[in-house]
Structure 1
Amino acid sequence: MPTLIPLLALLAFADEPVSPTVSFEAPKYGVKASIPKDWPIAAREEEDRVFVALIPQDDPERPGVVACELGLAPENLDEYRTRIDGNAKRAGPAGRKLARNEVVKDPKRDRLETIWEFRPSSGGLWRELSVRILANRQMYTLTLNVDDATYATARPLFDALVASIELSAPNTGADLLDKATNRWVQREFKFAIDLPEAWRPVLAPSEVALFFANGPATGIWSDNALVLAQPHGPLDLQTLVKEVPDQLRKVEPNCEVLSCEVIKQGKLDALETVVRTQRGPFSMTILERRFRGGRFDYEVKYTLESKRFDALAPALRKSLDSFGEVPGSVPAAADKSS
C-alpha cells in the first residue's frame, strides 16, 4: 500500500498530453532550443531576432507570438530590472500594467522574469512574459505574448522551451590573433585591430557593421566600437574637415563637435572627429576615424559614456592606430557604410 500513491502519481503524469517539439538551431547566434511543433517559425536569424514563432489562438487573425532576441548584456540582471521598474512608474500607455518583474535564482542560470498585462481597446486581456538571460556578454530575451485564454496552456510549453535553451558564444566573425595585445582579425574582410584591455568582439546589433566590440558593461550600458566599410570613392579629407561638423549638426542639432582634423595614422592620413551628444539619459562621446585602406574606405568608431572618455582616449587612439589589413582574399565590395 505505501507504493500506491507514487504509482498513481506516475500514471497520472503519463496520461498528460506532451506537446511534440522540433529542434531549432541558429549557429550564428549560438542558440539551440526545442520549440513546440504547433508553433510554426515565422522568421529566423534576422538582425537581432533569433526566431519568431506564431501561436494559434481562438481568433485566427490574431495569433500569439513567441520570440527570442539577442542584445548587449547589462552589468547584471538587477540593473535591467531596476530600469524596467523605473519605466513602469512613469506614465505609460493606458491599459498597460507591470504584473511581475523579478530576478529568479536558478542553479542552471539566473533569469529576469517580467510580465506585462495589456487591455487593448478591442477588449480582452493579453500577457507578455519576457525571460532575460545573460551569457557570452549578450542578453537573450525570450518573449511569450498571448491572450488570456491561451496563456494557461502556452505558459508550460514556453517554460519548457526556456529550459531547453542551450547557449554558446555567437559567431562574431572575428578571431583572436594575439592575446598579449588583444588583437582580433575580421575573418571575412581580413582586417585586424588591437582592442583596449577587457574589450572583445560581440555579435553586431545590426548587419551594417563588419566588426563590433564592446567593453565591460556599466549599469545597462557598455561602451562599444564598430567598423564600417565601403568601396573606394571620392575621399577628400580636407574638404570633409569643413563639411562634417555641419553634417553632424543637421543630424543631431544639439551635438557638440569637439574636434575635426586630419591626423596621421601610421603612414595613412585619417580624418579624426570627436563629438559629444546626448543619448537618452547618457552623455556620449564618439571618437571616429575615416581613412582609405588598400581595399576599402573605412570608418572606425568608438562610442563611450563621456565620463569615461578622457581616461580611455589614449588607449582608444592606440587601438585606432593599430588598424591594418591582413593578407587574403575578400568579397569584391563591402558596401557596409553608415
Structure 2
Amino acid sequence: MTLKNAYKPHSHVRQTMPATQTAAAPLAFPMLPSLGVGTLDSYISYVNRVPMLSAAEELHLAQSFRQTENVDAAKTLVLSHLRLVVSVARQYLGYGIPHADLIQEGNIGLMKAVKRYDPNQGARLVSYAIHWIKAEIHEYILKNWRLVKIATTKAQRKLFFNLRSNKPTLSALTPNEVAALAKALDVKGADVKEMEIRLAGGDIALEGDDSDEESAYAPIQWLADNTQEPTERMAAAATDALHGPKLDQALMALDERSRDIVQSRWLAMDADGNGTKTLHDLAGEYGISAERVRQIETSALKKMRGMLQAQAA
C-alpha cells in the first residue's frame, strides 16, 4: 500500500460532524479484533479500519485540543493517523529493525506532532506529522542499527539514509560517482567515502551460538582475560605458594638421595621440558637398578604430595 493510498479517506466509514457543534465529540472507532490481539497483523488490520477525518473534523478537533487540552480530541487525531505511521515505517524495513519497533517509534513521533500541531497555519496534520514520524524513526534506527554509532553529524545522517538508495550500482563508488553524490547531497566527498566504508562493514557477535560450526567460535573465546578473575587469582596464588616455599619445605623433608632424584627427574628441565636425567642415568650414579630408582622416586613424590596437601588444607 502506498503512502498516498494509505491516507486516502474512506467515505463509507467517515462520520460527519455538524457545523454547529462546538465541543469535540469523539468518533466511534472499531474495537480491536477478538482473535489475534497483540500480533502485528491484527494491529495493522485495526488501524486500517479506523475512519479518516475530513478537513473540517480535523480542524475542529485540533482547535479543541489546542484551546482546551481536550485529551479525547488528541486521541481521535492520533488514532486516525496510525495508518500513516504504518506506511512510513514500512519504508525503513531494509535496516534490519523489526517493523513493530519502527511503528512504535513512529507513533511516538505522531503524538509529538499532534501535541505541537497548530491548525491555524493552514496545513493538514498529515503534512506536519510525517516529518515528526520520520525524525523519530531515524533517531531509533541510528541508535539501534549498529553497536557503534556511525552517524553523529548532520552530514553523516543525511548520507546514512540516502547513500544506498542513490548509489548507481552495488559496486564500490568511483571517484566520479563520489563527486556526483557529494554534490547531489550537499556533503563533502570525504564524507561519502567514509560512510560507504562504514555501511559496507558488519558487526561481529561477541559471543558465538551453540552450534558446532566454525561461526560458533566468537571473539569472546580469544578476547577474554581471566587473569584478574577472583577464583583464577586465588588458584594462581595457591599454585605459586606450592611451587615456592611450600615446595622447598617438602623437598627438605626428604633424604639427600631422594631429594636429588626428584629434582633431577621433575624440577630440573631441559629445553624440551623433560627431566635432565633418566632412571638409568641415576641408577648408574648411585650403583642401583633403574627399578630401585623408580621406587625411591615414587615414595618421595608420595611423601611430598601428602605434605603439600596438608599445607594447602
Classify the TM-score, shorter chain: under 0.3
TM-score by length of 1: 0.19
Higher helix share: 2
More RCO (CA 8 Å, sep 6+): 1
> Could you state the TM-score of these two structures normalised by the residue count of structure 2?
0.20
Q: Which has the higher strand share?
A: 1
Q: Which has the larger radius of gyration?
A: 2
